[in-house]
Homo-oligomer: A and B are copies of this chain.
Amino acid sequence: MNKAFIIDEDRKRRLGFEEVIFGASKSVALLSDLLKDYVEKDKNVLITKLQAEKAKHLLKDFKTAFYDDESEIFMLSHHEISNESPTRIGIVSAGSSDIGVANETYYTLEYMGVKSEVIHDVGVAGLHRLFDHLEHLKTFDILIVVAGFEGALPTVVGGLLPQPIIAVPTSVGYGTAKTGETALHAMLTSCANGITVVNIDNGYGAAMSAFRMLNLIEK
């Protein structure tokens, strides 16, 4: 049979970023082949949603790689982050259970060469925690707001602050949380205006959409 993959080598030219690998549904054998191909072509590598068990196998052959248990991010190498570049992106999480998704955003931005900062655990059940950070949050160009359960945090932030807000629903919760569906639907139907939303647990996608917005600043 034919080779099972074709790397989109033109993506960088078209979009300004390279292809990354979705790890969850691929076998270790296939991922190993892919990694070798990337390494040979001297490309950076990011694998998302890589289960710990599979990461363990790959780390044996790719010893310099970085793997984060909470976010299931696997990185072989990445763009340099200049020390002078400002921290334009704030990642705000509702609860400490959202750490995995917040980290996925953080490391993806690091991989893209972009500095960000995570403000953890400022959920709506204790609003003063958010208000304590409000002045700090005003300093970012873009806000990525991560929340599970009822997903109210992006709505509250969106009513208080004028920046672009990328809402990330997480699958944290049980019962009517419906593995993130309720937070997703709540964010989409938010009474706060002009919030945009990405897929459930898609910290990676939030980072990439922030990356697209950074194009606007450079101009």
- Residues of B near A150 (CB, < 8 A) are 150-152, 155, 185-187, 189-191
Cross-chain contact B96 with A30 (CB below 8 angstroms): yes
Which residues A192-216 have CB closer than 8 A to chain B?
A: 192-202, 204-205, 207-213, 215-216
Which residues A104-161 have CB closer than 8 A to chain B?
A: 106, 117-129, 141-142, 148-152, 155-156, 158-161
Question: In this complex, what residue of B is CB-closest to A165?
Answer: B212
Cross-chain contact B120 with A215 (CB below 8 angstroms): no
Contact string, A19-34, partner B, CB cutoff 8 A, digits 1/0? 1101011110010001
> How many residues from A make CB contacts under 8 Å with B?
106
Question: In this complex, what residue of B is CB-closest to A34?
Answer: B96
A35 within 8 A of B: no
A178 within 8 A of B: yes
Cross-chain contact A190 with B96 (CB below 8 angstroms): no
Task: Kindly state the separation between the CA atoms of A27 and B26 in the bound complex, as whole angstroms.
Answer: 25
Cross-chain contact B196 with A175 (CB below 8 angstroms): no
Given contacts A2-B119, A118-B1, contact A156 B152 (CB under 8 A): yes
Contacting residue for A164 out of B2, B10, B213, CB 8 A: B213
A99 within 8 A of B: yes
A78 within 8 A of B: no
- Residues of B near A34 (CB, < 8 A) are 96
What are 16 A-B contacts defined by CB distance under 8 Å?
A4-B96, A5-B120, A8-B126, A10-B126, A25-B148, A94-B191, A125-B158, A125-B190, A150-B189, A165-B212, A173-B189, A176-B188, A182-B186, A195-B205, A216-B217, A217-B219
Give A residues with C-beta under 8 Å from B: 1-6, 8, 10-11, 14-17, 19-20, 22, 24-27, 30, 34, 49, 69-70, 94-97, 99, 106, 117-129, 141-142, 148-152, 155-156, 158-166, 171-178, 180-202, 204-205, 207-213, 215-217, 219
